[in-house]
Amino acid sequence: MITLEGSVENIVFRNEDNHYTVARFRLSGSGKLFRDDLTTIVGVLPGVHTGELLSVEGEWEHDPRYGRQLHITNFTQRLPSSPEGIMRYLSSGLIKGIGPKKASLIVDQFGEQTLAILEQQPERLSEVKGLSVRDRNQIVHTWLEQSEIKELHLFLQSHEVSLNMATRVYKQYGRDSINVIRENPYQIAADVSGVGFRTADEIALKLGLPFDSIPRLASGIKYVLAQAANDDGHCYLPERDLLTRAVEALHVPSETLSGALEAVANDKDLFIEQPLQGNSNTESEHPQEGSHSEERHIYYAPFWYAESGSTRLLRLQLRAPSCLPLVSHQLWENVFQLLQQRRNMLLTEMQRTAVQQAYTQKVSILTGGPGTGKSTSIRALLMLLRNRKVRVALAAPTGRAAKRLSEAAGTQGTALEARTLHRLLEYTPHDNSYQRNEDNPLPYQFVIVDEFSMVDILLFYNLLKALPRDAHLLLVGDADQLPSVGPGNVLRDLLKNSELPIVRLTELFRQAQQSHIIVNAHQINNGVMPSLKVERQSDFFFMHEEDPLRGQQLILDLVKRRLPARYHFDALTDIQVLAPMYKGEIGVTMLNMRLQESLNPSSFAQVEWGDRIFRVGDKVMQTHNDYDKGVFNGDVGWIRSINKENSTLKVEFVEEAGPLFVSYEFHELDELVLAYAVTVHKSQGSEYPVVIVPLYREHRALLQRNLLYTAITRAKRFCVLVGQPQALEMAVRNDRVALRNTALAQRLEQILQGRR
């Protein structure tokens, strides 16, 4: 890290939206490292103007076009003190309408005291001959605004908040930024993307907020509940678990937290509830060790509203009359005969039941593994609905899943093309709401949602709110896959309820039986070790390699050389590596670094951000929902351009409606990670021509049957497992499903049976 001191000679370039600046910098002292003591500095430099004195920290970098320059990571501002410096400062464009001539008038009048007078006695500008009232008002207004920006950055720098984060805070609150932070530092954690509770808590404590104050403890409790939802998928925490986590996060005694919990019991952001009666939550899952079923359940409000609201709306949906015309027994027979004769679709008895049930029942579920005929059942149902002129909508949780549904249902390029649920519900990012709701329901008589295992409780609640009461809803998914990334375990909870119409497809079709991927996936799902016998025409291989480092090299060779050479797969677009964990030699992080080095080693444009390097051509993934941009956690795209002058990077995402180009400012790059390798969890809803999965004992914490099953079923044409047979066996035998704290199943059990 290099530290330099000097003054800003002139601003070469500035992006006013993100404050990315290129400036010429005159070094202080006698050292002549550069001709005329001028060098180029670049970086996010909000509020910096010509003439200012700066102490800067950064790293040297070489730009092919502009040569050697210092990339600034931190800086401290000092106002100029000499009349010459002050005049350059005021005439730099800092104040609109004030150029060198008017700046000279002001400095000639006040000399070295100019800036002090602007700060403390701005009314004295009336003493300057040649300045109009309008000029004086403009100077006072702009100076005040600039002072607020500077004060915010200096204030946040003192709390070790990065310049990028400070810029985000100012964008959120403007001139009220410091007041908001001082009144409630925890507000920035709720409002500003990238600012977590830890940062807000450090600021609060430095501002003197008592360690055991109720505002701090209440914010900490909400933080723990939000983390439990984000990290573990819990809708609530049992009281003892909540207190244990909060003690660790807040470093206060459990007794103090218990008192705080009672003090905020009526807080609108929290719900405290006695456990509901019913056995649904543990029917087929292993309870967590040390769980306490009689403890109170503590909910973060959005999840309580979503659970209880979903239950209420499901009951209304089931009890409301249907809008669909009746179909006689004879008509059903005619429908199935016509499907066989005209479409060559011979449905099994279970598929027939699925189609009939979806048409006759207001809410129904169709579940089953790959190759069991879910897509064929959907196509058959759609033919009937279109014949009966029923208004239908097809939807899925992600763009990738929606695209697959359109392909499977044969609706690509038609009015029936599938959409994401966010698009269907008309999500508006500016106010984080859905335009389709109970007051403005969807204009459809039938809604089909595929890949429903990916739908979390919040999205499900919003779907039910938008569904007309007389409409039908068919939920299609594979309950044996991993649950949603977001909180809840909706599909599993619904499948536990005996009151809901459910069809489970289990029979493998002949075509599916010819795929070793599908056959082995079903074997694994049944707890049976897959066949590892090597067959020349197989689409499924296990490659034994005990050493993780050699396993890494084998994966690199498979991606770059072997699979493209033998099977003509494209190394960059066809092959996806799916790893159980981030850490280790064969974890996601290391594999991404090595795969980038191998597949995209250099580019005409790249940007370093923290410990990451992004290059044009890189495959990247969005890491959290960004509703303003319209991209969501797990979306994968390709970097198409990097513009250092504008400090922006453009990514192309594949959406159901076609390519979506999204621009990122450099300070937003923490939203992106390389995606040559991704976790199995992040791959949900996707399908890839080729999947490579490393399996090693060092991943034992996540070697679970449903994780391996999910990974294998992402492969469309080819699947390769690399690693240790013992690790594969561990995954197949481990049917333990991590329990998520949800009460949707119990709520449904009680309300549908009339007990609540």
| Distances 259 to 161, 180, 214, 253, 679 between C-alpha atoms, Å | 32, 27, 9, 10, 40
CB 590 within 8 A of CB 552: yes
3-state secondary structure of 316: helix
Distance CA 704, CA 446 (A): 36
The order of strands in the sheet holding 236-238 is 236-238, 297-300, 270-273
Place of tokens 């319209």: 630
Distance CA 364, CA 495 (A): 10
Q: Is 533 annotated as a binding residue?
A: no
Distance CA 193, CA 651 (A): 20
Distance CA 383, CA 377 (A): 10
Closest CA to 5 of 47, 39, 42: 39
C-alpha 53 chain-centroid distance: 40
State both tokens at 13.
Answer: 């370039």
3-state secondary structure of 584: coil
Q: Is 43 annotated as a binding residue?
A: no
DSSP class of residue 122?
A: G
Distance CA 485, CA 32 (A): 56
Q: Is 372 annotated as a binding residue?
A: yes
Q: Is 374 annotated as a binding residue?
A: yes
Closest CA to 369 of 447, 481, 202: 481
Residues in Cβ contact with 173 at an 8 Å cutoff, skipping those fewer than 6 apart: 180, 191
Q: Is 406 annotated as a binding residue?
A: no
3-state secondary structure of 651: strand
State both tokens at 365.
Answer: 């579920």
Distance CA 247, CA 239 (A): 12
Beta bridge partners of 428: 433
Q: Which residues are annotated as a binding site?
A: 371-375
Q: Which residues are annotated as a binding site for ATP?
A: 371-375
